[in-house]
Structures are given as C-alpha cells and as structure tokens.
C-alpha cells in the first residue's frame, strides 16, 4: 500500500486499511514509499511471509471475513513457532475487481486478529489480478532467543498442542467431500477450526525458554515434524495412539481415518515442539494456565529414522502432507 497506484487504490487504502497508529514503535506507517519501525535494543527481528490464493487455500465463495482472519493467522502461527512477539504486518492483495463489501469484510477479519495480538498494519500493496492475499509479519525476540527447528536432542520429549486433523475435516465438510454421523455442534466446530485457526502466540512465548526445537504443523504433522527432525539431525519414536484426536473428529470419521487426518491433513497451525523430560511439569502448567491441550506423542532418538507405532506395531504414514506443486 506504499507503491504508486491509481487513485482508486488510494481510496481503498484510506477507507478500508488506514488506521490511527497504536504502537509507539511505528515511526511511519501507511502512506509513504516505505514504513519505518523502531526495534528495541537487545531484540532481534523475526519475519514471516505467507500467501493465500483463491482456489488453493480458500474457495471462491469463502466468507471474506475468514479469508482476512486466516491471512494473518497463518503468519502469526509462524512467529509463534519461533517464540516471537508479533508487531508489524504488511498486506498485499490481488483483486480481479474492486468489491467494497468483500474488502470491508476481509479487513474486519484481519483487524479482529491484529487487534488481539497488538499487530499494526504498516503497508503493502493492492493490484489487479487473481484473488490472493500475501501478508508479511514481523516481530522480535530477545537476542539469541528464537526457537528454531534445529535444536532437538536425543531423549527430548515430543509434544503437540491442540487437536490435529480437525482443520482438514472442516475444509472437507465445507467442500462437501466429507459427510458422516456427527454431533449437532461438530460441523460448526470443525469448519471453524479451518476458517478461524487460533495461532498459539501465548503458548509460543511461554515455550521460548522451554522448547529445544519448534515448528507449526501447517502442512501436516508428519511432514512438518520430519522437517524439524531433519534440521536437528535426529530421529524419533512416535505413538499414533497418543495423538490428541477431538471427540468431534472421531465421531465423524472414526479412529483410523481421524489418525490419518491428524498426521497428514494440514491447516492445523498447532505447535509441535521438543523439550527435555525434566520440563514436563512446566509444560503441563503452561497448558493448564492457557487452556490449551498439550500432548506428548513421542521421543527424540539418535540418527535420522522416524518410526510411528500403533499398539506396538509399525505404522505406515499414508502420505507426506500438503505440497504446493503436486
């Protein structure tokens, strides 16, 4: 929203996206060629970028409020996995045509989440093209405190927040690809898990001094855990029966299919992390204080072999998770 553009673009920016600055560290926000922000001494900058594309990440008839919310949520999840405090966002939107109602609803969803985590929109761009939204989110951590994927050690416990598999079930319910017996509230709960994922920002901050490695599981638990273990040069022994499957998911698809959804579905935006066994009480206290389920699903092992087991037998993971170009 900082580049030269037709008058209509500036009208959109002024009416829908410009707000009074609420952060003291924003020196110059929307309205110039670039934004200017101030980073405190002793802090390091953390930056994440994600794009949501119509037809790939959301349907053409998806509520724009949800699209706006998710466009920021997916980036907040990345910062949560680093143990970072979010601060500033830039937003680039590609639009086939100007639709005032769509934009206003999108902005309401975006700012609903931005306000919750004190994120200020400081710039971006609007262009004509296929419907898509790209958010770049910046935050900070104390010097040397970022939690990476590469710190898992042999003997560490492997944990997972939330209930994986719910989001992909919600997506399939929305598209009509999934039907089945469910409780009256299951459809609403599961579809909301997809449309309005809850980034684990406060959990990520609490885990900054506990976790040895961390990742968010946007592309599926098995695929993303594999990334973490590869970066750490480690393997793992994991138990499918310990996956924290929700009652709603189990009622809808049964245990076998629910496990596959949890391992390979994607779009959960939960945190998978490793921590020394002696920090188990700290993790339990963190989970209880935040009302966030946090389950141990395995142990880090030496070498690079990743072994899933179910009832004492080897379990073959059916697929590797979401891949953009397949």
Q: How many CB atoms lie within 10 A of CB 233?
A: 13
| Count of domains observed in the chain | 2
Q: Which domain holds residue 274?
A: 157-314
Within this chain, do residues 171 and 97 fall inside the same structural domain, yes or no? no
Tokens at residue 264, please? Answer: 């390979």
Within this chain, do residues 175 and 297 fall inside the same structural domain, yes or no? yes
Within this chain, do residues 138 and 172 fall inside the same structural domain, yes or no? no
Within this chain, do residues 47 and 129 fall inside the same structural domain, yes or no? yes
Domain C-terminal end among 118, 142, 166:
142
Within this chain, do residues 162 and 252 fall inside the same structural domain, yes or no? yes
Please measure the distance between the N-terminal and C-terminal CA atoms of the chain and give it in whole angstroms: 32
Within this chain, do residues 129 and 187 fall inside the same structural domain, yes or no? no
* Angstrom distances, CA of residue 19 to CA of 10, 32, 109, 284: 14, 14, 15, 39
Q: Is there a domain that residue 126 lies in?
A: yes
- H-only helix segments in the chain: 7-12, 64-82, 100-116, 166-175, 186-195, 201-207, 221-232, 247-264, 280-290
Domain C-terminal end among 115, 142, 169:
142
Within this chain, do residues 108 and 16 fall inside the same structural domain, yes or no? yes
Q: Is there a domain that residue 319 lies in?
A: no
* C-alpha span between 317 and 260 (Å, rounded): 7
Q: Is there a domain that residue 323 lies in?
A: no
Q: Is there a domain that residue 21 lies in?
A: yes
Q: What is the pLDDT along the chain (326 residues), one digit of tens a residue?
A: 444 444 466 666 666 676 666 788 999 888 788 999 999 999 999 999 999 999 999 999 999 999 999 999 999 999 999 999 999 999 999 999 888 899 999 999 999 999 999 999 999 888 899 999 999 999 999 999 999 999 999 999 999 999 999 999 999 999 888 876 666 678 889 999 999 999 999 999 999 999 999 999 999 999 999 999 999 999 999 999 999 999 999 999 999 999 999 999 989 999 999 999 999 999 999 999 999 999 999 999 998 899 999 999 999 998 654 443 34
* C-alpha span between 247 and 253 (Å, rounded): 10
């Amino acid at each position: 929203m900082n580049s030269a553009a037709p008058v209509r673009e500036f009208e959109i920016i002024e009416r829908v996206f410009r707000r009074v600055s609420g952060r003291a560290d924003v020196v110059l926000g929307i309205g110039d060629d670039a934004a200017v922000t101030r980073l405190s001494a002793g802090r390091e900058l953390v930056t994440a970028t994600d794009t949501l594309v119509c037809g790939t990440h959301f349907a053409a008839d998806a509520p724009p409020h949800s699209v706006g919310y998710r466009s920021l949520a997916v980036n907040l999840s990345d910062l949560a996995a680093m143990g970072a405090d979010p601060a500033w966002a830039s937003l680039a939107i590609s639009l086939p045509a100007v639709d005032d109602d769509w934009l206003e609803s999108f902005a309401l969803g975006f700012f609903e989440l931005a306000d919750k985590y004190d994120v200020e929109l400081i710039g971006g761009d609007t262009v004509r093209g296929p419907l898509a939204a790209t958010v770049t989110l910046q935050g900070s951590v104390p010097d040397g405190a970022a939690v990476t994927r590469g710190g898992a050690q042999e003997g560490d416990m492997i944990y997972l927040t939330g209930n994986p598999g719910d989001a992909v079930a919600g997506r399939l319910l929305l598209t009509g690809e999934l039907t089945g017996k469910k409780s009256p509230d299951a459809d609403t709960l599961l579809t909301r898990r997809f449309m309005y994922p809850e980034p684990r920002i406060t959990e990520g901050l609490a885990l900054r001094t506990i976790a040895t490695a961390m990742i968010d599981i946007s592309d599926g638990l098995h695929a993303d855990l594999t990334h973490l273990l590869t970066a750490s040069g480690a393997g793992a022994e994991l138990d499918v029966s310990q996956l924290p499957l929700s009652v709603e998911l189990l009622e809808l698809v049964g245990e076998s299919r629910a496990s596959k959804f949890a391992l390979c579905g994607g779009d959960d935006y939960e945190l998978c992390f490793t921590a020394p066994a002696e920090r188990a009480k700290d993790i339990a206290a963190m989970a209880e204080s935040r009302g966030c389920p946090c389950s141990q699903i395995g142990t880090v092992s030496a070498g690079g072999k990743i072994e899933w087991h179910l009832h004492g037998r080897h379990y073959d993971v059916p697929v590797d998770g979401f891949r953009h170009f397949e």
